[in-house]
């Protein structure tokens, strides 16, 4: 069993075209994500999965590894599956999907994602949640919330704040979903063969595909948030933290 990281990256982002190549503190965004991933000792290899020659050239320019994929993919998870199959991962290998807009993910995020997959063969997919505090409220629909059962398996992910507290604003607790995933390779290949369901189509959240087909997602709580670069305005926020 080996652990691989894949960073899906596409050039044509709706809100931020060319986002992977946007400069943050003098480096392209994709380089920040790649270098943070390669600093994690869990990974046997780290790859960028992209269909764009400009991104490929950039990654090769700073010494990174690239797998070229097709243009047809519905989500980053579908893209990394093609890349993983291309380089011949075995069914018991572990794949970590690190979104290409996550330059500030914490190294402990990776150990949290992979540990359940290594310890329990019944777990197929993992992800992370972070407890929202009053000083860091949910800002917009790009901040996805998650609710889990008593065993920390996901019940639902939404761009709306869930759950809805009907009676009082005091004591409300929300969890923000962080866009990093761990998969068993065998399940990743199965996941990408599933058709898009009503929930995934409605929320535009790929992880809902697994729930809609009855698969469980283990959700680990982390004390560390991760800021995504979703729009040009997010660059300044990230630069203040770097």
Note the pLDDT of residue 232: 83
| Helices within 39-88 (DSSP H only) | 53-61, 76-86
Domain with 151 in it = 3-241
Task: Determine the angle formed by the axes of helices 29-38 and 53-61, rounding to 10 degrees.
Answer: 50
Pair type for strands 125-131 and 175-184: antiparallel
The CATH number of residue 128's host domain is: 3.90.550.10
Note the pLDDT of residue 228: 87
**What is the Cα–Cα distance from 56 to 54, expressed in whole angstroms?**
5
What residues in the chain have per-residue pLDDT under 70?
A: 134-137, 139, 168-170
Cα dist from 33 to 7, 25, 84, 222, whole Å: 8, 13, 18, 19
In the chain, the number of structural domains is 1
Average pLDDT, rounded, for the chain: 93
For residue 158, the cross-strand partners are 145
With a CB cutoff of 8 Å and minimum separation 6, the contacts of 113 are 96, 126, 127, 128, 180, 181, 182, 220
The model's pTM is: 0.93
Q: What are phi and psi of 207, to 5 degrees?
A: -65, -20
Note the pLDDT of residue 173: 87
């Amino acid at each position: 069993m080996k652990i691989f990281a894949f960073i899906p990256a596409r050039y044509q982002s709706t809100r931020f075209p060319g986002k992977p190549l946007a400069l943050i503190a003098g480096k392209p965004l994709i380089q920040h994500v790649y270098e943070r991933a390669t600093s994690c000792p869990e990974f046997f290899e780290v790859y960028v999965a992209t269909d764009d020659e400009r991104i490929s050239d950039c990654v090769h320019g700073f010494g990174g590894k690239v797998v070229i994929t097709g243009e047809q993919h519905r989500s980053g998870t579908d893209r990394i599956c093609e890349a993983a199959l291309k380089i011949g991962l075995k069914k018991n290998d572990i794949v970590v999907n690190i979104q290409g807009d996550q330059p500030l993910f914490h190294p402990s995020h990776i150990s949290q994602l992979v540990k359940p997959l290594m310890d329990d063969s019944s777990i197929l997919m993992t992800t992370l949640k972070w407890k929202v505090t009053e000083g860091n409220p949910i800002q917009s629909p790009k901040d996805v919330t998650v609710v889990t059962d008593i065993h920390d398996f996901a019940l639902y992910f939404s761009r709306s704040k869930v759950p809805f507290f009907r009676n009082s604003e005091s004591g409300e607790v929300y969890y923000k979903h962080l866009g990093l995933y761990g998969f068993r390779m065998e399940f990743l290949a199965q996941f990408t063969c599933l058709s898009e369901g009503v929930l995934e189509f409605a929320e535009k959240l790929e992880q809902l595909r697994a729930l809609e087909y009855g698969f469980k997602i283990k959700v680990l709580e982390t004390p560390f948030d991760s800021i995504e670069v979703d729009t040009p305005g997010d660059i300044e926020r990230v630069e203040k933290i770097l």
